[in-house]
């Protein structure tokens, strides 16, 4: 497996925007809500 490479924040924002557009999200908030509702991330405040 290749080591992770550092991407500058602008490159990461570009990648996130491209994936969001391909999936049809209007914005990052909508993407976060959908990902949370699908159970792909957890609410860390509730886990404590």
| Residue with the two structure tokens 């159970």 | 39
* Residue 16 resides in a domain: yes
* Residue 22 resides in a domain: yes
Q: How many domains does the chain have?
A: 1
> CA-CA distance, 34 to 32, in Å (whole number)?
6
Q: Give pLDDT, residue 37.
A: 92
**Residue 26: how many other CB atoms lie within 10 Å:** 9
Q: Give pLDDT, residue 2.
A: 75
> With helix as H, strand as E and coil as C, how does the chain read?
CCCCCCCCHHHHHHHHHHHHHHHCCCCHHHHHHHHHHCCCCCCHHHHC
* Residue 13 resides in a domain: yes
Q: List per-residue pLDDT tens for the chain, 48 residues long.
A: 677 777 788 888 888 889 899 999 998 899 889 989 999 888 776 655
Q: Give pLDDT, residue 30.
A: 92
Domain enclosing residue 19, as ranges:
9-40
- pTM, full prediction: 0.56
């Amino acid at each position: 497996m290749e080591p992770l490479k550092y991407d500058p924040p602008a490159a990461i924002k570009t990648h996130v925007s491209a994936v969001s557009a391909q999936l049809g999200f209007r914005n990052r908030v909508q993407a976060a809500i959908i990902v949370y509702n699908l159970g792909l991330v957890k609410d860390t405040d509730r886990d404590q």
